[in-house]
Amino acid sequence: MSGLGKGITAASIGRILKNRGYAVTAVKIDPYLNIDAGTMNPGQHGEVFVLSDGGEVDLDLGNYERFLDIDLSSLHNITTGKIYRSVIEKERRGDYLGETVQIIPHITDEIKACIRAAACDGIPGEGPADICLVEVGGTVGDIESMPFLEAVRQMRGELPEEDTVLIHVTLIPEDSMGDLKTKPTQHSVKALRELGLYADIIVGRGQRPVGPGTKRKISAFCDLPQEGVISAATVPDIYQVPMEMEREGAADVLSEHLNLSPREADTRWYTLVEREYRGQVRVGIVSKYGVEDVYMSIKEALKHAGRASATEVKITWLDAEHYAEADLGTFDGILIPGGFGQRGTEGKINAIRYARTNRIPLLGLCLGFQLAVVEYARNVLGWKDATSAEMGEGRHVIAILPEQQGLSDLGGTMRLGNYPVTIENGTRAMRIYGKREIIERHRHRYEVNPVFIPDLEKAGLVFSGSWNNRMEICEVTDHPFFLATQFHPEFRSRPTRPSPPFLGFVEACSACRDGR
């Protein structure tokens, strides 16, 4: 069912295979009618993850990139909207030569073609993929998932048996007596079989591990070997899941089904995950959304930076509209994330002012960058009417640039995906990145208004990163750590390669804590 952990399971299986030297890529199938996740409410659906080519996708693709340490493209997110749009466009062009266009074979053929295209897309820096993970979102039995499951059934029949393995993730709940119940698994396996799909491996999700007795019961009722039942209990850190699945023997079962030669596992990932913390910092994130998954990549980027510096990062979520200013002084660092719309912006601006004047490390991201500029204009330059064009009337130190509008009466379009940034020498940004030219991912519409840049710089705000006339990084020199980025560095952070702004921020938080 939805939200059970299929994405983490798929990413963990990919990590297990990658640890054995296989090149692994991944595809996420979302059965909703939206073309992509870009217009979806993050409070309902979770974070909109941005790919290098600007694709706005489900947060599970962020997990794939982090676990597999690869970059994916828009090809790797398939939605019902994309499939139907493509088929209808082909029908309008006459590509079907007058055929009656139907779910089978036209929709299912399109789904299979999209899966194959993503599988053959290759991995940047590695070449072709050896294995492609395909996660089918939703729940078995949902009407919207049926064409995708039928396409999977067809592909299973078209490929050699040893070239596919079907993994079914099911819920194994616990009753009031503490017994694990297998009935939901039995029913979902039955529903899957009615669609012509037979699971090779069952991953049982629950709050505690599935014991041998429960595994025997599932094996007997679901017609698969006991070693094909993998326990996936909830763990404190998602990066521990591959290690737990290793202990369950997942690698051996996968190798047997896919006819892979035995290989020793590279254990560096597990060594990283098990690294002990030597310290702890408290970070307050000022957000207007009440759902933590809206900022999943930020949480993970802080975790990556914490592991690299052996520092546990404890996050407190502060409601941008209702937090108490006195609480800000209890944190070792303050983070202002991205977002859209006017609600909560004044609370974020006040938090930025507090961090700047009280010398608390601050990291601003996207909207956080824009509001840092607004705060500086208001409270250092004295422009009390300074604001963003997104927020309403006033002195627009943040605006839509004419070249972004195209035609001035049509409004701006989103700036999405990878763009270059040039960093100025002698700045904090240069110290944390260590190079002059970088690439980072973007998702925004508004920019710093060039008209006001000279006044802001004269007042002491340093724009340490830019691209053409677009300001990308700002910082305050006489401060322990005051840095904000127009881009989203969290999208490129990996457990093995933490984002430089996040690493610098966590290290500054540690120094702030030790200096108190």
Model pLDDT for residues 137-151, shown as the tens digit of each residue: 888 888 999 999 999
Q: Whole-number mean pLDDT of the chain?
A: 92
Say how far apart CA 434 and CA 437 lie, in whole Å: 9
Active-site positions? 366, 488, 490
Specify whether the CB–CB gap between 147 and 102 falls below 8 A.
no
The confidence score (pLDDT) of residue 402 equals 65
The angle formed by the CA atoms of residues 467, 422 and 352, to the nearest 5 degrees, is: 80
- Which part of the chain is CATH 3.40.50.300? 6-272
What are the DSSP calls for 443-475, one per residue?
A: EES-EE-GGGHHHHHHTTEEEEEEETTEEEEEE
**What angle in degrees, to the nearest 10, is found between the helix axes of 367-379 and 345-357?**
60
Residue 410: pLDDT band by 50, 70, 90 thresholds? Answer: very low
Q: Say yes or no to pLDDT of 428 above 90.
A: yes
Architecture of domain 275-515: 3-Layer(aba) Sandwich (3.40)
Query: For residue 396, which phi and psi values (nearest 5 degrees)?
Result: -85, 85
- Which part of the chain is CATH 3.40.50.880? 275-515
Looking at domain 6-272, does it have CATH number 3.40.50.300? yes
pLDDT in tens, 43-92: 777 889 999 999 999 999 999 999 999 999 999 999 999 999 999 999 99
Instruction: Spell out the residues 6+ positions from residue 43 whose beta carbon is closer than 8 angstroms to its own.
Output: 289, 290, 291, 294
What share of the chain has pLDDT > 90, as a percent? 80
Name the H helices within 168-295.
183-194, 212-222, 241-247, 250-257, 268-273
Mean of pLDDT values over 230-257: 94
The confidence score (pLDDT) of residue 252 equals 94
Residue 262 burial (10 A CB sphere; 0-12, 13-18, 19+): exposed
Residue 42: pLDDT band by 50, 70, 90 thresholds? Answer: confident
The confidence score (pLDDT) of residue 404 equals 55
Residue 105: pLDDT band by 50, 70, 90 thresholds? Answer: very high
Mean of pLDDT values over 342-347: 87
What are the DSSP calls for 347-409, one per residue?
A: HHHHHHHHHHHTT--EEEETHHHHHHHHHHHHHTS--TTEEETTT-SSEEEEE--HHHHSSTT
Q: Position 221: which residue type?
A: F
Q: Say yes or no to pLDDT of 110 above 50.
A: yes
Specify whether the CB–CB gap between 460 and 477 falls below 8 A.
yes
The confidence score (pLDDT) of residue 516 equals 63
